[in-house]
Amino acid sequence: MRLISASVDNRDAESLFRANPISEIRNVESTTNKQIQDKKEELRQLVGTRYRDLIDSADSILHMKSASESISSNISSIHRCIRSLSVSDLEPSPKLQSSPNNTTRLRIYGIACRVKYLVDTPENIWGCLDESMFLEAAARYIRAKHVYSNLMLPDGDLDHSILSNFPLLQHQWQIVDSFKAQISQRSRERLLDRGLSVAAYADALAAVAVIDELDPEQVLGLFLEARKTWILHTLTASAGNANATSSTAISAFCDVLSIIQVTVAQVGELFLHVMNDMPLFYKVILGSPPSSQLFGGIPNPDDEIRLWKSFREKLESVTVILHKTFISGTCWSWLRDCGARITSKINGRYLIDAISSGQDLRAAEKSIRLTMESKEVLQGSLEWLKNVFGSDIELPWNRIRELVLEGDSDLWDEIFEDAFARRMKMIIDSGFEDLTRAVNVSGVIHTIAATAGEKVVSETYLTRSSTGGRVWFTEPNNCKKAGPLLGNRAVPEEDNLQSCLNAYFGPEVSRIRDQVDSLCQSVLEDLLSFLESSKVSVRLKDLVPYLQDKCYESLSTIMKELKTELDILYTAIGSEPPSIIVEISIFIGRLLFAFENHSKHIPVILGSPRFWVKYTAPAIFEKLPSLLWQSKAVNSSPFSDSLGRQMLTSSQRQSSYATAALLGANESASPKLDDLWKVMRELCVRAYSLWISWLSDELSVILSRELGQDDGLSASSPLRVTIFRTISLLSLSLSPFVFVSMSVAWEWGYIEGWI
């Protein structure tokens, strides 16, 4: 659209129509009408706003007038009151009914000074609260209460005259009286502040005792409840952390323990009467300046002093020295309650659950015990202990425990031992639950069934390569005769034997066996780490049977699973291809054989705890091959006695708690070990029976074929060769022990005689 640039003088209707088309004229008309409407609206709003401002101004003027009249009236009232107090013969005071003399003047002056004392009290109390002088604030409130009560004593018309001459007195006392709750609250809040001196807590306790009229027993309870709040705050802050680690839990436990130690020490310093020294709380609450100095500015405060002395006498009668037995019992009850809260659920979880292993439990115990023995934690009470015992104290907590708790009980026993033992049991449970989940026997069996062929060729099966896990050795030259048990070549020979066993068992059996051994070893080492403590004897009695029971339960679960698979296998005879039955039965048989004869840690856990020393003192056993721990009869063989003698001979070099306790443990194995071996043997026989049944049928076919093809059937020599070949094929697929047995039988002529 073209802009209309004509001057104002030329913008008449005719010039517009000449210079612009109709559409342009209509746009100009529309724009002009809109501007007119906008101006009207702007004018309307401007007038309305000014009108409202005018109304508001009028209201303000009226309010100012009312306030001015009120001020003028108040000033006039004050002026009349002042005039009523002045001496005038022409206008006698209506209140006093007579001309005031010197006695009356002094009386009125004394009343005025007392009123001023009440007026100054709020500011004085505020100053005391700001400076954390809570006992002084409480004492000022009590003295102000005495002043007010003295003013309000009924003595003829005295109270009425006072209220008449000082109408603000009642209001002022209400202000002063409101400070009672503030002093109590601020003093109690002071008890919740950490890091203060014991004198500061004594001042706050004394203030609460004065303002709330508490006796020493209640004050002691209040002090302990405040410290319990400290503990709960620390625990809540740590437990509320969703990412809390073991270090977080350990730090929280040490912090809580330091609170407990400091609290018990301060209880002794505040309330315990030792020798001739007055406890600090009693020094603070009963200490007071002379009464004549307490009511400054009040002339002749005899009545107030009398009330104050009466209050002090009552306070002294209530504030009696607590008996040592009562203090000890109260502290023990508080301590056990704190222990229960430390080990209970906080925000739906146990803080100790953040500690996930026995090694971390041991680290936590070590840190907690170091905290208990630390002098830094009790630094604030060392001077008090020095005054009590007359010399510097090396182990302050032991002395405080003797003084305040009247006993030598260990804080660890009272608070942490049971909780840590329960947590160790949970860690054991978790370890064996992982074992049960990790050993997926059914999954492996299903994989074997899916990959097995439809038909098994007997001779091919019996002579297949050793890499398939079908023979118990890799190469004849690699399996050398075992040397002396403690010889230098024991470890290489052991490794060679292990490789032979792995080749015989196959990858799946070896993996499951190693997995079970690894998890069992991890759980055992975790437990042994936790046993490394001065409480090892108690823990051995509780945790060793628990570990063995859990190990037995986990392995029994695996045995039940294998039994179920065997039952299914027996049911499937005739309906499933022989290859599946053969492969699965051999897998189950070898797995059970591996568990029974070649597991390193199952017989160790279920055996005598004496043999656990290997895992606490590796230096002694650095030359012992792990073959020693593979035998299921480790506790009954001649090895057992010699090993025990070796351990006992070396025990003098051991400094650990666990080693000493394990060396003194019972040599007998758990009865569950024999039960487990029995179940394994039975299942192993059942598994191999399936395979042997199939193998017998196949061998009979081979034997018949070989006999039919032998030209010299009447001669003995070829027949013996054929039978020996057949037996050799059989022995290649059996365990090494069966192979040896059949070889001996052949050498002794049993098989030849049978032929």
Tell me whether residue 268 is in a domain: no
Amino acid at 614: K
- Out of 681, 701, 721, pick the residue that ends a domain: 701
SS3 content of the chain, % helix, strand, coil (to 5): 75, 0, 25
Q: Is 133 helix (H, G, I), strand (E, B) or coil?
A: coil
Tell me whether residue 746 is in a domain: yes
Residue with tokens 């049978």: 754
655 and 729 in a single domain? The answer is no
Tell me whether residue 589 is in a domain: yes
Instruction: Please write the tens of the pLDDT for every residue from 566-623.
Output: 888 888 887 778 778 888 888 888 888 888 888 888 888 888 887 777 766 443 334 3
747 and 636 in a single domain? The answer is no
Largest CA distance in the chain: 171
Q: How far, rounded to the nearest angstrom, does the alpha carbon of residue 351 sit from its chain's CA centroid? A: 2
- Out of 701, 722, 742, pick the residue that ends a domain: 701
Tell me whether residue 354 is in a domain: no
* DSSP type of residue 610: G
Percent of the chain with pLDDT over 90: 29
Two tokens at 719? 């027949």
Q: In 3D, which of 531, 529, 481, 498 has the Cα closest to residue 629?
A: 498
**How many beta carbons lie within 10 A of that of residue 10, not counting itself?**
10
680 and 564 in a single domain? The answer is yes
Q: Which of 129-138, 155-164, 477-486, 496-505 has the highest mean pLDDT?
A: 129-138
714 and 697 in a single domain? The answer is no
681 and 735 in a single domain? The answer is no
569 and 452 in a single domain? The answer is yes
Tell me whether residue 721 is in a domain: yes
Two tokens at 47? 């007038």
Instruction: Please write the tens of the pLDDT for every residue from 627-666.
Output: 333 333 344 433 334 334 444 333 333 346 767 767 766 6
Q: Which of 53-67, 89-103, 422-436 has the highest mean pLDDT?
A: 422-436
Tell me whether residue 62 is in a domain: yes
689 and 728 in a single domain? The answer is no
Tell me whether residue 445 is in a domain: yes
433 and 510 in a single domain? The answer is yes
- Out of 663, 682, 701, pick the residue that ends a domain: 701
What are the Cα distances from residue 569, in Å, to 443, 448, 665, 733, 755? 15, 13, 44, 20, 34
Burial environment of residue 510 by CB neighbours within 10 A (0 to 12, 13 to 18, 19 or more): buried
| Overall average pLDDT of the 451-473 stretch | 50
Q: In this predicted structure, what is the pLDDT of residue 70? A: 87
694 and 749 in a single domain? The answer is no
The pTM of the full predicted model, rounded to 2 decimals, is 0.69
Q: In 3D, which of 708, 733, 710 has the Cα closest to residue 590?
A: 733
733 and 662 in a single domain? The answer is no
Tell me whether residue 637 is in a domain: yes
Number of structural domains (the chain) is 3
* Element containing residue 405 per DSSP (H, E): none
pLDDT above 70 for 563? yes
517 and 614 in a single domain? The answer is yes
Handedness of CA 456, 457, 461, 465 (dihedral sign): negative
Q: In this predicted structure, what is the pLDDT of residue 46? A: 73
Please give the residue range of the domain that contains residue 37: 13-84
Q: What is the C-alpha separation between 8 and 686, in angstroms, rounded? A: 120
Q: What is the C-alpha separation between 748 and 755, in angstroms, rounded? A: 13
Two tokens at 408? 């030598």
Q: In 3D, which of 112, 141, 111, 110 has the Cα closest to residue 124?
A: 141
pLDDT above 90 for 744? no
Q: Which of 116-130, 406-420, 710-724 has the highest mean pLDDT?
A: 116-130
Q: What is the C-alpha separation between 60 and 213, in angstroms, rounded? A: 52
Instruction: Please write the tens of the pLDDT for every residue from 358-413.
Output: 999 999 999 999 998 888 999 989 999 988 888 888 889 999 999 999 887 788 88
Q: What is the C-alpha separation between 268 and 413, in angstroms, rounded? A: 22
Q: Sorting pLDDT into bands at 50, 70 and 90, what band is 241?
A: confident
Q: Sorting pLDDT into bands at 50, 70 and 90, what band is 456?
A: low
606 and 518 in a single domain? The answer is yes
Q: What is the C-alpha separation between 128 and 204, in angstroms, rounded? A: 12
